[in-house]
Chains A and B, each alone.
Chain A
Amino acid sequence: MNRAIAPEINTIKAVNLVFPQRLTLTDEVDLFWIDDVSDETVKIDFIWEAGSKYQPKPLVASFCNQLLFSGNSDISSMQIAEEIDGLGGFLSHEQNYDHAGFSLFGLNHQIEQIFEIASNAFNSVMFPNEEVNKLREIKQKQFELNLEKVNVRARRDFIRKTFGLNHPYGQIADKEDFDRINQKDIEKFYKDLYKTKPFIFLVGKVNDSFINQLKMWVVKFTAEKPIINFGKINQSKGQFYTEKTDALQTAIRIGRPLINKKHADYFKFLVLNTILGGYFGSRLMSNIREDKGYTYGIGSGVAVLEEAAYFFISTEVAKEKREETIKEIFFEINKLKTELISEQELGRVKNYMLGELLRNSDGAIAMMEKFKNIYFNDLKESFYTDFIKTINSCTAEQLKTLSNKYLNDADFTIVGYG
């Protein structure tokens, strides 16, 4: 045994992904279901095309989503919560730019009762004024608190500059928007968007009776999805810095619009992203954290939405190191454009990415998330197999060409706050 010599490494050949079975509940609505679960847990997601891009003014989509179980004249939000909690159930709300909905978590011997309560509450919700006002108060306070955080401010500025204020993705709420929202807006949004067909994803072992419950519930969802032209995004390039006098750190966000998941360059760009800032051993981490100690963390990523996508780098650094950090970030980007990555480093990144894929496909719930990615982005079923192929086959030359194509200094928006 020689400690100076690393044990042999086995490269990952494949990732075992289980896709859900597809059950037709009605002509309109399918159920996607993975039942290969070795315990009693059940997780079910109900998702609608009710994201914030559909809202007539800021906050409507999120308020509507948060208030889906706010009750009616017969049953209050408190009673609904009490009944679901009493059965050991958990209800979570999700909403983003494109989609919104809720998930139920519970054990299989109680899931039917939990669903009964949740679905009745959902069908009969009236968004009582006092619930709206209460949520407004809480959210407004939370909003004020969040505005004190430099990373929140930097993200807001970055989003606005990347998408432009005329695109729904660039329309972030301001303090005044909390007073402008009312019960009528919320109720209308529910009627227009939450009566369209839901997308349903189930993980767990359940009885036929539960499937029948779902079948009976979904027949009412027959509304047509609104047709909206979202327009083009409008990026403002260049540097934008806002100082916060007492801040000890500055939050930096750098990025640009990007290709989506169907694009031929997408997989290779993910490899490039990992090299630059997608893992602990990345160029950015190695330089700005491990070599210079300017930050606790720096990373990069790719965000793909339905109408647009973007690449971003984000970090919080010692305030006096802001300009140095930006200089170093562009130094690293430039290195990618001018020098070929070594076989050694590329091999390491490839193995890391395969390991990461293995890690985040582990278990039925994780596999369902992978499927949802394919489903909502209208991707081929071979998406992950193709991803693995590209990871394995991409070359240093291809990555250098790609960085020159997508990482031009002049194309970036650079935001600093703090």
Chain B
Amino acid sequence: MITYEKYTLKNGLRVILHQDKTTPIVAINTIFDVGARDEQPDKTGFAHLFEHLMFGGSKHIDNYDTPLQKAGGESNAFTNNDITNYYDTLPLENLETALWLESDRLLELAFTDKSLEVQRNVVIEEFKQRYLNQPYGDVWLEFRPLIFKTHPYQWATIGKNIDHVAQATIADVKSFFFKYYSPQNAVLTIGGNIDFKTTRALIEKWYENIPAREKYIRNIQPEPQQIEYRTKTIERQVTSDAIYIAFRTGNRKTSDHYMGDLISDILSGGKSSRLYQRLVKQNQVFTNIQAFISSGWEHGLFIVSGHLAHGVDLEFAELALFDELELLKTELLDEAELQKVKNKLETVKAFQDQSVLNRVMNIAQFELLGLLEEINEESDKYQKITSIQLQAYAKQIFLKTNASVLKIKATNE
């Protein structure tokens, strides 16, 4: 049971406090309502580049990490298509240091040329290391535009191509900050063995005088429903052929998220799962296979992907996958199989909830989603799902006309 207290400052900053008496660490999380989805098609990769710049010094403090390390703290951040999230963990006694640092960079970044220059290069190296220099690294750069024709989800957080980031200017960066990084667009969440009264006072001290600035009103056109089967084949220097199939689903806020999550576990959650048993172990179609959901806040996806076993051709593999998905439409799951994945989910949740940082991140995301009041209902939502509902999900989602298929032909086998 996650308990919390929520309030809002005059400048629009939402604050949520969560107490955990068992840990000596305090976790401070700041989430901003901006992600790759908010970028312009000719200026992609900016939200992520900006995340890097947030560590390059603020108005009164020339380096973010140094004072935090001095206080025994650690900091990191991540950006995705929907949001940007910053988090610090440090000994409880030094909470104020984190608030001082976070509030100063929310007030205003330093915007130095040096910082932009360096982080540009760092992001370019990140692009190479994670996407270009890895086998199958650029799959999603190829796959996204197949699935999303008009919506910003068509580009990945790292950017459509590295030139956009390479050409970013200080003016671009400044305008990004003032447009998206306002207290009104942020949620500050703190978790640990905190005293609420003193914590509130510290927050008031450091955050009250930050101007409210502009509220960002998002206006993104939804991607139209998909009505035709789409496929694309690319060649890469990899060691086996691979296939990725994506189906459009409802977004994170819909029941599709929970249904898809359960189905992905039925299909590939562990060694007793269907795809592993039937397509890897028994019938040797794949050497590895995954089914997973991508619960975008605007649009969701259900994805199946795998590397083909030697000698298996891509058309055959695709058929085998569609056959398995067809079974979910024609046969009701038996209770034991459904209960199995529900039980595993309970175990996972229990272990994940042990971390105060995880809890604080969840609280932040639920608040931004507008679902904070339901944060303790997650288990229930999963447990209540019936096999009839899952069959209906399968019938609606696993259609050829709702599928985008990316095939990778190995030139290195």
Q: Which residues of A contact B (CB under 8 A)?
A: 1, 3-4, 6-12, 15-16, 38-41, 43, 77-78, 81-82, 84-90, 105-107, 110, 134, 137-138, 141-142, 144-145, 147-150, 246-249, 279-281, 289-297, 316-318, 347-349, 351-352, 354-356, 358-359, 362-363, 365, 418
Contact = CB atoms under 8 A, between A and B. Distances in A.
Interface in B284-307: 284, 287-288, 307
A246 B237 contact: yes
Interface string B261-275: 000000001111000
A138 B70 contact: no
Given A289-B118, A358-B24, 6 more contacts: A1-B205, A3-B59, A141-B288, A290-B118, A296-B126, A352-B73
B128 A294 contact: no
A90 to B, nearest CB: 6
Given A38-B22, A137-B284, A82 B96 contact: no
B347 interface: yes
Contacts of B23: 362-363
Given A6-B97, A10-B93, A142 B132 contact: no
A81 B302 CA distance: 25
B206 interface: yes
B60 interface: yes
A86 B24 contact: no
Contacts of A84: 272
- Point out which of A4, A7, A137, A248 has the most chain B C-beta atoms below 10 A from its C-beta: A7
Contact of B354 (A78, A110, A365): A365
A148 B74 contact: no
B354 to A, nearest CB: 6
Nearest to B66: A281
Contacts of B133: 150, 247-249, 316, 418
A290 B281 CA distance: 47
Interface in B239-259: 239-240
Nearest to B21: A38
A-side interface mostly: mixed
Nearest to B347: A88
Given A77-B271, A107-B346, A246-B237, A138 B280 contact: yes
A141 B287 CA distance: 7
A318 B72 contact: no
B330 interface: no
B288 A142 contact: yes
B74 A356 contact: yes
B270 A85 contact: yes
A207 to B, nearest CB: 18
Given A81-B271, A351-B71, A105 B351 contact: yes
B134 interface: yes
Contact of A348 (B69, B74, B97, B307): B69
B66 A145 contact: no
Interface stretch (B149-157, B321-329, B337-345): B337-345
Interface string B134-150: 11000000000000000
Contact of A3 (B60, B66, B93, B281): B60
A262 to B, nearest CB: 27
Contact of A39 (B205, B345, B354): B354
Smallest CB-CB A-B distances: 3 pairs? A355-B72, A293-B121, A88-B343
Contact of A82 (B117, B122, B272): B272
B354 A141 contact: no
Given A88-B347, A290-B118, A318-B128, A149 B287 contact: no
Contacts of B41: none
Contacts of A290: 118, 122
Nearest to B71: A9
B193 to A, nearest CB: 11
A41 B104 contact: no
11 contacts: A7-B96, A9-B94, A12-B93, A85-B271, A88-B343, A90-B270, A148-B237, A293-B120, A296-B125, A318-B125, A363-B23
B90 interface: yes
Nearest to B67: A6
Contacts of A12: 72, 91, 93
A279 B65 CA distance: 10
A249 B129 contact: yes
Contacts of B344: 85, 88-90
A42 B344 CA distance: 13
B238 A134 contact: no
B69 A279 contact: yes
B336 interface: yes
A167 B100 CA distance: 53
Contacts of A4: 60-61
Nearest to A145: B239
Contacts of B124: 293
A8 to B, nearest CB: 8
Nearest to A317: B125
B333 interface: no
B201 to A, nearest CB: 11
B25 interface: yes
B277 interface: yes
B125 A86 contact: no
A347 B91 CA distance: 16
A89 B129 CA distance: 36
Nearest to B107: A3
Contact of B238 (A1, A8, A145): A145
B89 interface: yes
A143 to B, nearest CB: 9
A292 B206 CA distance: 34
Contacts of B128: 248-249, 318
B91 A355 contact: yes
A351 B74 contact: no
Contacts of A351: 69-72
B353 interface: yes
Contact of A16 (B24, B107, B287): B24
A300 B103 CA distance: 32
Interface in B354-410: 354-356
Interface string B152-181: 000000000000000000000000000000
Given A41-B351, A293-B117, A248 B132 contact: yes
A4 B62 CA distance: 10
Contacts of B332: none
Contacts of B126: 296
Contacts of B74: 280, 352, 355-356, 359
B236 to A, nearest CB: 10
B350 interface: yes
B346 A281 contact: no
A352 B351 contact: no
